[in-house]
Amino acid sequence: MASPRAALPPGLIVRTGKFVWNTMWHTMMSQMAPRSTSGDYTRPQSAFRGRDISPEPHRHYLIVGMSCPWAHRTLITRALKGLQATVDVITVYPSTDEGRWLFDLNQADVPFAECRSLPEFYRRAQSDYVGRATVPVLGDRQTQTIINNESADIIELLNHEFEPFATGPDLYPEALRPTIDQLNEQIYATVNNGVYRCGFAQTQAAYDQAVSELFATLDQLDDRLATQRYLCGAALTLADVRLFTTLIRFDVAYHGIFKCNRRRIADYPHLSGYLADIYQLPGIADTCDIEAVKRDYFGNLFPLNPGGIVPIGPGWEGLKAPHGREQL
């Protein structure tokens, strides 16, 4: 009778598995999330920064992914300005296997209808384009061009350039611009991009710095909102739009998959009420898709969640409760 094959020592199996997984993880992360020499996530710059708009109904369109916070900014601004009948929306969805945004070809109004993916769309708009194909996109049907793919620019364009068709308030008033710009700079670095710096950090030191800066800013914002309804006072501005799309994803996604788990937004007395306040404004809830957020963060970021298991909670039911912030 043959003797049983000797088993490999468990230690060797563990060490080999860790080496293989760590090597693959760093390789995948370097493609998904470019890093600095210190392991800090470095977000690439947007390539299309045009501002030449000729406002006409249905001439311009937004390409968005419903889970993406940067695209969500544009949907909220469109809703607040009342531009639903002027600027069209085309949705894309991320492919788990291909790692890129795909069009739903059942949508009848997709420009370049023969394009299956967003990278193909970018190359049709600019044949020599070799960069990332990201959302949101502000496009022009008449010229068949991509005007802009930087969300910070697009929400300013929606706020100002489409004013002849707008019914909503000015979200970037001249008198408040210095304050809005200052807030945007801080919030982008430590909160909007800060959650990604936590989730995509490739060293402990990079993560520790990012998470400390994130919660230091959230603490400051909670204090700021203790005495005023919105970031700049009584009126909602683009600074609030930019913060909201990160906050609404925080407890659902960033707290878990990005390791932003020092506190939840629900644990902040003023930030949590502020989040509910904006969510309950007319048209805002219609731009929010919790199932897409959970599915795409947990199901598509393979290096961060290789099992692809989507957690069951939390939900957004609490955002429908009375918040009392109108008294401010």
Q: How confident is the model at residue 25 (pLDDT cuts 50, 70, 90)?
A: low
CB neighbours (10 Å) of residue 96?
13
Average pLDDT score over residue span 265-287: 98
Indicate which residue of 68, 115, 198, 232 is catalytic: 68
Return mean pLDDT, the chain. 91
pLDDT of residue 139: 96
pLDDT at 4 over 60: no
Give the pTM: 0.92
Q: Is 172 a catalytic residue?
A: no
Indicate which residue of 129, 172, 188, 196 is catalytic: 196
pLDDT at 91 over 80: yes
pLDDT of residue 39: 74
CB neighbours (10 Å) of residue 93?
16
Q: How confident is the model at residue 32 (pLDDT cuts 50, 70, 90)?
A: low
101 annotated as a binding-site residue: yes
Q: Is 196 a catalytic residue?
A: yes
133 annotated as a binding-site residue: yes
Q: How confident is the model at residue 164 (pLDDT cuts 50, 70, 90)?
A: very high
226 annotated as a binding-site residue: no
Coil/strand/helix, residue 235: coil
pLDDT of residue 31: 61
Among 3-17, 34-48, 112-126, 227-241, name the most confident range. 227-241
Q: How confident is the model at residue 24 (pLDDT cuts 50, 70, 90)?
A: low
Average pLDDT score over residue span 179-186: 98
Average pLDDT score over residue span 90-117: 84
CB neighbours (10 Å) of residue 218?
25
132 annotated as a binding-site residue: yes
pLDDT of residue 52: 93
pLDDT of residue 7: 64
**What are the tens digits of pLDDT across the range 196-209?**
999 999 999 999 99
134 annotated as a binding-site residue: yes
Q: How confident is the model at residue 28 (pLDDT cuts 50, 70, 90)?
A: low
Please spell the DSSP secondary structure of 109-176, one letter per residue. Answer: T-SSTT--BHHHHHHHHSTT--S---S-EEEETTTTEEEE--HHHHHHHHHHTTGGG--S--SS-GGG
pLDDT at 61 over 90: yes
Write down all domains in the chain, each with its CATH number in brackets. 60-165 (3.40.30.10), 174-327 (1.20.1050.10)
Percent of the chain with pLDDT over 90: 76
H-helix or E-strand spanning residue 275: helix 269-279
Average pLDDT score over residue span 47-65: 94
